[in-house]
Amino acid sequence: MRVTLPLEVRYAETDQMGVAHHAAYVVWMEAARVEFLKRVGSPYHELERSGVRLPVVELRVTYRAPASFGQVVQVSCEVQDVRSRAATFRYAVEAEGRRLAEGYTRHVCCDGQGRAIPLPEALRRLLEGASSADRSGPPGHQGELLYNRPSRPRTTGRGRW
Amino acid sequence: MRVTLPLEVRYAETDQMGVAHHAAYVVWMEAARVEFLKRVGSPYHELERSGVRLPVVELRVTYRAPASFGQVVQVSCEVQDVRSRAATFRYAVEAEGRRLAEGYTRHVCCDGQGRAIPLPEALRRLLEGASSADRSGPPGHQGELLYNRPSRPRTTGRGRW
Amino acid sequence: MRVTLPLEVRYAETDQMGVAHHAAYVVWMEAARVEFLKRVGSPYHELERSGVRLPVVELRVTYRAPASFGQVVQVSCEVQDVRSRAATFRYAVEAEGRRLAEGYTRHVCCDGQGRAIPLPEALRRLLEGASSADRSGPPGHQGELLYNRPSRPRTTGRGRW
Amino acid sequence: MRVTLPLEVRYAETDQMGVAHHAAYVVWMEAARVEFLKRVGSPYHELERSGVRLPVVELRVTYRAPASFGQVVQVSCEVQDVRSRAATFRYAVEAEGRRLAEGYTRHVCCDGQGRAIPLPEALRRLLEGASSADRSGPPGHQGELLYNRPSRPRTTGRGRW
């Protein structure tokens, strides 16, 4: 299962290079992960209320092309791996069918004091179910993305990095 | 050569987990890289003025322990690799001699239109010089860090992830 | 004319008080202003491309109740005042029909060098038109808000400030 | 009493207008307030640990000139007003002796559930003492600022707004 969240690049997310700052993608990936957990039936705010935390212990992003202010980016999230105390999500950021970035985050399940604990049984099953349901290709594969909102035509001649 | 920048964790950088948000580290690493470039004699704002950009094309962070509001973290930066059109920096985030995180960023040298260009000769030499001058151990190695400011005693019992 | 933008509070926007950080509202207000300009037919990225800037010269926010992670806030924007070289927008942030915050921003029209210039004639007319079309009550007045997305039920007992 | 905190403008704090984004000032003012509370002997993290919160209920910023990446801004904070359940701080942001912005924040004292409570007696006295000790002129008055770090020469011809 793959969840795609459309996000419009905010002015505050740009930097003086004239494109979205690279740290913004980390926030977008988190927003897509939050949406993913909501859709599989285990909203993160409910996990937190039950005493569970999923802090990021590893983060990787590869940037392929810049995102511009006002552009709508499609941020997709899916489960890559589930362990007894950890889970890995992977992401793709696309716009107009073009890959802008991809990455993953690894999370360790913790209690309120920051001690590693096993993933709650229900969460682990939901993630495993969501994982096995979709094994066909990378996240953000163009044909499967749900473009909920049209993004504005891009006329700038920005190159590919 | 390794440059260490002390930064006090801002309240705005925390999240409701009660510690610094993982995206804040990406901003800290950038601040340490900016300090590094300044100290080797090639401030980034001067590079930009001369038409050169160093966008991040790859980012990786491993988080080992949380950083708390008010805590002073030591963010060190050094050159890991220099190529004709790219450079990689690596980082460590420490507090009170304890490793909180480490990571690297890879940058491709671009002109103002986002097209890859060779690193300016002067910059390449500065980075290579800074690179060869220090080959002894990982960044943030405790004994070499410059603790410019005392950090406040930490009494919270937060575990290690 | 009043434009309302629904935004889901991001985890990265919370702080360790457990609610959205007060600086996040400033970013939300900007996002609503960007949406407003788009809907009246003068998208900000087109204004910028034509050499016009609208930097904020004054900002005021009054916070009435906190916003929580995952909550959908409705951020409304409308024109409050249009002058030859300046414009003021006002905002309301609501959730579930409850006012969380309100504020305004004043902007001076500038060229690319930061010098004050008159508002472009077309923009001034659009803003004046949007201004005169709606004089009935404060922004975010409950009955007029467009709730595009349902927000999740809030069960926390957070008080009013 | 007035406390001045030097902060170097981060790249991530700029936007595509080429200067620090207006929301960054709100974060800087908070950092100066945190420094103020530390210096008067009541660090905010200790207040929080004792169950006290000081959420912002009102915020105002006036922007006079832009701040640029790499520039060191001096952010000063002082007490403007102390009430039984509220306090107001005022701020100035300067660089090279030039006023860039000023503003204030008003805070209501709350418990952990967000209910208004009286300021702790010790805090109220500290703030009143800090308030009465300095009544001579606006914050950031040039002659009184402590320039801890030299800021880089500014050569851009950016105008005043």
For C121-158, write each residue's pLDDT tens digit: 999 999 999 997 555 444 444 333 332 333 333 333 34
Quote the pLDDT of residue A125. 97
How many angstroms away from the CA of A134 is the closest CA of chain B?
Answer: 26
Between B115 and B151, residue with greater pLDDT: B115
Judged on CB neighbours under 10 Å (0-12, 13-18, 19+), D121 is: exposed
Quote the pLDDT of residue A134. 52
Which residues from chain D sit within 8 angstroms of residue A15, using beta carbons?
11-12, 14-16
Which residues from chain C sit within 8 angstroms of residue B16, using beta carbons?
11, 14-19, 69
| Token representation of residue D54 | 């000081």
CB B31 within 8 A of CB D10: yes
Residue D12 forms part of a structural domain: yes
Say how far apart CA C24 and CA A125 lie, in whole Å.
35
What backbone torsions phi and psi does residue B151 show, to the nearest 5 degrees?
Answer: -95, 155
| Helix (H), strand (E) at residue B56 | strand B56-63
Residues C23, D30: C-beta atoms closer than 8 Å: yes
Q: Which pLDDT tens digits describe chain D residue by residue (161 residues)? A: 999 999 999 999 999 999 999 999 999 999 999 999 999 999 999 999 999 999 999 999 999 999 999 999 999 999 999 999 999 999 999 999 999 999 999 999 999 898 999 999 999 999 999 997 555 444 444 333 332 333 333 333 344 44
Cα end-to-end span (Å), chain C: 30
The CATH number that applies at residue B132 is 3.10.129.10
Q: Residue B111 corresponds to which amino acid?
A: D
Quote the pLDDT of residue D1. 94
Residue A150 forms part of a structural domain: no
What residues pair up with B90 in beta bridges, in sequence order? B78, B104
Helix ranges (H only) for D50-135 are 121-132
Report the residue of chain C nearest B15, measured CA to CA: C15
Query: Which of C42, C38, C45, C56 has the alpha carbon at shortest distance from C109?
Result: C56
Residues of chain C below pLDDT 50: 136-161
CB C113 within 8 A of CB C71: no
Residue A64 forms part of a structural domain: yes
Instruction: Please write down the HEC assignment for all residues of A70-129.
Output: CCEEEEEEEEEEECCCEEEEEEEEEECCEEEEEEEEEEECECCCCCECCCCHHHHHHHHH
Which residues from chain C sit within 8 angstroms of residue D66, using beta carbons?
55, 114
Residues of A annotated as part of the active site: 15
**Mean pLDDT of the region B82-88:** 98
- C positions 98-117 inside 8 Å of D (CB): 103, 108, 110, 113-116
How many inter-chain contacts (A to D, CB under 8 Å) are there? 28
Residues B15, C15: C-beta atoms closer than 8 Å: yes
Judged on CB neighbours under 10 Å (0-12, 13-18, 19+), C9 is: buried
Counting as contact any 3 or more CB pairs under 8 A, the partners of A are B, C, D
Residue C156 forms part of a structural domain: no
pLDDT band at B132 (very low <50, low <70, confident <90, very high): confident
Query: Which of D25, D146, D6, D139 has the alpha carbon at shortest distance from D77?
Result: D139
- Here the ipTM equals 0.85
Whether C81 is catalytic is no
Residues C8, A27: C-beta atoms closer than 8 Å: no
| Per annotation, catalytic residue among B15, B81, B111, B134 | B15
CB C118 within 8 A of CB C83: no
The DSSP symbol for A6 reads E
Quote the pLDDT of residue C133. 56
Quote the pLDDT of residue B133. 56
Residue D109 forms part of a structural domain: yes
Q: pLDDT tens for residues A135-161?
A: 544 444 433 333 233 334 333 334 444
Residue B158 forms part of a structural domain: no
**Is residue C152 within 8 angstroms of chain A, CB to CB?**
yes
Q: Which domain range does residue C66 map to? A: 2-143
**Is residue D158 within 8 angstroms of chain B, CB to CB?**
no
Burial code (b: 16+ CB inside 10 Å, e: under 16) for D60-75 equals bbbbebbbbbbbbbbb
Judged on CB neighbours under 10 Å (0-12, 13-18, 19+), C145 is: middle
Which residues from chain D sit within 8 angstroms of residue C66, using beta carbons?
55, 114
Query: Which of B105, B43, B108 has the alpha carbon at shortest distance from B80?
Result: B105
Residues C23, D22: C-beta atoms closer than 8 Å: no
How many angstroms away from the CA of B12 is the closest CA of chain C?
Answer: 6
Report the residue of chain C nearest D29, measured CA to CA: C23
What pTM was computed for the model? 0.87
Chain D interface, best mutation among C61, C64, C113, by max D CB count within 10 A: C61
Residue B79 forms part of a structural domain: yes
Q: pLDDT tens for residues A88-120?
A: 999 999 999 999 999 999 999 999 898 999 999
Between A17 and D151, residue with greater pLDDT: A17
Please give the C-alpha separations between residue C151 and each of C68, C73, C148, D48, in angstroms, as whole numbers: 11, 8, 9, 30
CB A121 within 8 A of CB A109: no
Report the residue of chain C nearest A19, measured CA to CA: C45
How many angstroms away from the CA of D85 is the closest CA of chain C?
Answer: 11
Chain D interface, best mutation among C13, C16, C21, C26, by max D CB count within 10 A: C26
pLDDT band at A133 (very low <50, low <70, confident <90, very high): low
Q: How many CB atoms lie within 10 A of CB C68?
A: 21
| Overall domain count for chain D | 1
**Mean pLDDT of the region A50-58:** 97
- A positions 24-63 inside 8 Å of B (CB): 26-27, 30, 48, 53, 55-63
Residues D11, A15: C-beta atoms closer than 8 Å: yes
pLDDT averaged over chain B?
A: 87
Quote the pLDDT of residue D149. 34
**Is residue B66 within 8 angstroms of chain A, CB to CB?**
yes
Which residues from chain D sit within 8 angstroms of residue A14, using beta carbons?
15-16
Report the residue of chain C nearest B13, measured CA to CA: C15
Residues A16, D19: C-beta atoms closer than 8 Å: yes
Chain B interface, best mutation among D16, D45, D49, D54, by max B CB count within 10 A: D45
Residue D29 forms part of a structural domain: yes
Q: Starting at the edge strand that comes first in sequence, how are the strands of the sheet with A56-63 ordered? A: A2-8, A72-82, A86-95, A98-108, A56-63, B56-63, B98-108, B86-95, B72-82, B2-8
How many angstroms away from the CA of A59 is the closest CA of chain D?
Answer: 18
Which residues from chain C sit within 8 angstroms of residue D64, using beta carbons?
57
Q: How many CB atoms lie within 10 A of CB A53?
A: 21
A51 has a pLDDT exceeding 90 = yes
